[in-house]
Structure 1
């Protein structure tokens, strides 16, 4: 490890701590301006307390990190430093040079509130960049990291510990706790809403089929491990709902486990969920800023799943749900987006059967090497990245690539490619190339569509990001080249590559 890189990480961390502490103290001196300002400052204090613990941890273990990991932390700390100094300059303009009592005049209090709101938004955006890089440290097998982590008694570290380390906590729920007679399907989605017996409270359910699995023991172990980690995830940061628990369902004939249901807690005061597919089938009625935020939430969710050493395998608009704030259900309501559809997820180390299906509407979101009845390649994290690319292209154009006929709302069957996609059903048949067959023409069409139609809608940066995702498995990919070198023992390098090439770049897009 280069000493210069370690010093740069520590130096960047120290600058963040310095400017952050100055800013927090300045806000604390103003928190009596009114009750709204007080509540904003209290949130900021809690956020900064957690962040300080994480930054101090990075300083102590910087010498154990790979050069790529150090470089990303240097960049993340520089982003935070810039945001803290900008906030300090803005706050300075609101404070009287000399004051007695309250340093902010009443007419400036609304501007102070706005400053605090902007600061919160900037810090939450930064947190989405920082947390995945921080979590990846815990994946490194190193005695120094283990020792420092075990020493940490801060609330933040304990929260991360319960998130990423297997813990003993109630996980399996009674099989008769949910009222399946009142189950409701979410339109154009793979997720089901089921109420608790004797209650109006509903839960989101993803059912994992166990009857067709040849590795049931491994599947159950992976499901339990993922559920443990999702029990303590922060939905607002990572775009993933908290897992309330698991329910084993048995076949009435054989009494064998037929499925394991992942039960997710819904956001508080949320309205009826709407799938991304349903949104894409409707005209866009909100700003491009909202569209971009939706895309960021999806990439954050996938980043967390990968950090936990899983692949999702089912990223498409039918597995993404949005909930309106305060129960509002109109099309223009502000919404929070979450990734679900965990019915086919797997550990990255689990060698799945390379079997698929011929549903074109699913193959659309699969890399050419994973399409058809018999997939050519083992599923890797890059295959998820490709799926993200297709979804981001669809989101950027805001036009569904799948048309549902006859008003059906089921996630598969009776569908046709949309005009926006520019393909026909027969185009999803493999094409002969020498002695083999290939689905590469579908990917090539999507890349051409991104290059021709996306820039005028979402700009060059977003377009470049989409193309990066779609070509991540190409042998000449500039951003994901040398794929064999990215597969280190801890799986950290590939996670860093996703953060650097996808999460960071989407954070740089603005309108």
Structure 2
């Protein structure tokens, strides 16, 4: 591991040591108190003592679970290192799992192997493209305020998420798009929703023009995880301003999104289109607003691939783009930090729980970029930073607001977190991953309600 990766790994292991020592001390006190408990004590006193013990133990369990969520990304980051030592250790882990070492260690090693496999290049993957016949037997529904659809089989009731790419305009575009879709689908077939916050891809359907029988686009087919139902777009949820979701639920959605982006980057891809319309929230056993997943992979590309410099003048999309990527002719090629900026904009919207388009009322194309062409109106980025610094802390606290400021300034000159792009370039993308874990994931996880 590189020096910074070693440092963050050691810091997290030190936190585990402290957490375990605290938990052990609390358990010893509970056992000691149980042995010395006065059987003649009033019932009410016993109940209060039990409640106190229960809260302490639940806090210990919560601390360990929180530590696990911080540790996992640093552990999986090792899977991005191009070293035969990693492959050897994974083989050893799989051998041990087959000889009785099961449970969480087995699950983690399998997930690690999947991430490792997703980083590798397989020139001729098979089984990616599926027949459209299954969709012909399904009821298709549009998810409001979203870029994706749901499909439900008429015979079994099984549900899937359908994520279509835009139709190609010229036949010459097909080979490059087909390869990009195929490679991404293979990687997402290695996704573990529990570990990586990305939906498991079941394959890709080729969309054909019925008149000339030629492929005009593709549709990713994603499995709906067990126990999840009623997918809705984050954009649609936020638009329901009359429904106020709890602070803890909004914070969980923020953490889910940050985790999804982190693992997409570990898979070796940038998303390029992170916005609430591309974030799906499922109902789970705990809440109508349960778990969020990133979708909308129409523009995604390998992080080491050269992006197209063309853009568009869609105001709603440009709100979520870094100033250097806004407009019809973006000024820079796409890098990982552009995704981080878009994450910051989405986290701001989640924190305020108001559509940003309403907050930025009166925006025009001339207000995009680092500085506005309209002297009496600040740029979109400046207005977002103002809301993050001055308005958001009263909604979500100063720690959450600071994370968003870190994201929005990630490419500013002199920024010590992400700004120096050349200092973060390395063969395996480790440095950006370490900074992302340290400055965003870890700090989000440390926020407790």
How would you bin the TM-score normalised by the shorter chain?
Answer: 0.7 to 0.9
SS at 2:25's partner residue? helix
Checking the alignment, whether the CA contact within 8 Å between 1:124 and 1:237 is kept in structure 2 is no
Of the three residues 304, 311, 319, the one matched with 2:278 is 319
- Structure 2: runs of 5+ lacking an equivalent: 36-45, 98-105
Distance in 1 (CA, whole Å) between partners of 2:13 and 2:370 is: 50
Of the three residues 315, 323, 345, the one matched with 1:360 is 315
Q: Sort the Cα spacing of 1:233 and 1:116 in 2 relative to 1 into closer, same or farther, 3 A.
A: farther
Once the 2 structures are TM-superposed, how far is the Cα of residue 308 of structure 1 from its aligned partner? 0.8
Q: Does 1:383 align with 2:342?
A: no
Q: Does 1:159 align with 2:116?
A: no
Distance in 1 (CA, whole Å) between partners of 2:223 and 2:82 is: 33
Of the three residues 288, 291, 299, the one matched with 2:258 is 299
Checking the alignment, whether the CA contact within 8 Å between 1:368 and 1:440 is kept in structure 2 is no
Once the 2 structures are TM-superposed, how far is the Cα of residue 71 of structure 1 from its aligned partner? 0.8
Of the three residues 231, 234, 259, the one matched with 1:273 is 231
Once the 2 structures are TM-superposed, how far is the Cα of residue 471 of structure 1 from its aligned partner? 0.8
Once the 2 structures are TM-superposed, how far is the Cα of residue 363 of structure 1 from its aligned partner? 0.5
SS at 2:305's partner residue? coil
Q: Sort the Cα spacing of 1:223 and 1:90 in 2 relative to 1 into closer, same or farther, 3 A.
A: farther
Distance in 2 (CA, whole Å) between partners of 1:294 and 1:278 is: 14
Once the 2 structures are TM-superposed, how far is the Cα of residue 383 of structure 1 from its aligned partner? 0.5
Pick which of 392-401 and 127-136 moved more.
Answer: 127-136
Counterpart position of 2:415: 477
Q: Does 1:343 align with 2:298?
A: yes
SS at 2:31's partner residue? coil
- Structure 1: runs of 5+ lacking an equivalent: 1-64, 100-105, 403-417
Equivalent residues in 2 for 1:186-225, closer than 5 Å = 186-196=143-153, 198-209=155-166, 211-212=168-169, 216-225=174-183
Pick which of 362-371 and 494-503 moved more.
Answer: 494-503
Counterpart position of 1:46: none
Checking the alignment, whether the CA contact within 8 Å between 1:392 and 1:466 is kept in structure 2 is yes
Distance in 1 (CA, whole Å) between partners of 2:347 and 2:148 is: 21
Once the 2 structures are TM-superposed, how far is the Cα of residue 210 of structure 1 from its aligned partner? 5.8
Q: Sort the Cα spacing of 1:212 and 1:499 in 2 relative to 1 into closer, same or farther, 3 A.
A: farther
Counterpart position of 1:127: 68
Distance in 1 (CA, whole Å) between partners of 2:188 and 2:50 is: 39
Q: Sort the Cα spacing of 1:440 and 1:259 in 2 relative to 1 into closer, same or farther, 3 A.
A: farther
Counterpart position of 1:21: none
Distance in 1 (CA, whole Å) between partners of 2:350 and 2:379 is: 21
**What TM-score results when the alignment is normalised by the length of structure 2?**
0.84
SS at 1:285's partner residue? coil
Distance in 2 (CA, whole Å) between partners of 1:300 and 1:431 is: 28
Q: Deviations over 1:372-410 (max 9, x none)?
A: 1121111111010010110111111111113xxxxxxxx
Q: Deviations over 1:453-504 (max 9, x none)?
A: 0112222211111111001111121211321011111111112121111111
Equivalent residues in 2 for 1:222-261, closer than 5 Å = 222-261=180-219
SS at 1:321's partner residue? strand
Equivalent residues in 2 for 1:33-52, closer than 5 Å = none
Distance in 2 (CA, whole Å) between partners of 1:270 and 1:169 is: 29
Q: Does 1:393 align with 2:348?
A: yes
SS at 2:216's partner residue? strand
Counterpart position of 1:15: none
Q: Deviations over 1:67-119 (max 9, x none)?
A: 010011012212222332333233333325787xxxxxx98998887677655
Checking the alignment, whether the CA contact within 8 Å between 1:244 and 1:265 is kept in structure 2 is yes
SS at 2:130's partner residue? coil
Q: Does 1:82 align with 2:18?
A: yes
SS at 1:450's partner residue? helix
Q: Deviations over 1:150-170 (max 9, x none)?
A: 333243323321333058774
SS at 1:248's partner residue? strand
Q: Does 1:174 align with 2:112?
A: no
Distance in 2 (CA, whole Å) between partners of 1:361 and 1:254 is: 35
CA RMSD of aligned residues (A): 3.1
Once the 2 structures are TM-superposed, how far is the Cα of residue 354 of structure 1 from its aligned partner? 1.3
Equivalent residues in 2 for 1:278-293, closer than 5 Å = 278-281=236-239, 282-283=241-242, 285-293=244-252
SS at 2:80's partner residue? coil
**What TM-score results when the alignment is normalised by the length of structure 1?**
0.74
Q: Sort the Cα spacing of 1:256 and 1:79 in 2 relative to 1 into closer, same or farther, 3 A.
A: farther
Counterpart position of 1:145: 86
Q: Deviations over 1:293-341 (max 9, x none)?
A: 1111110110000111100111111111111124x9xxx7351111111
Counterpart position of 1:61: none
Checking the alignment, whether the CA contact within 8 Å between 1:141 and 1:490 is kept in structure 2 is yes
Pick which of 215-224 and 498-507 moved more.
Answer: 215-224
Counterpart position of 1:447: 385
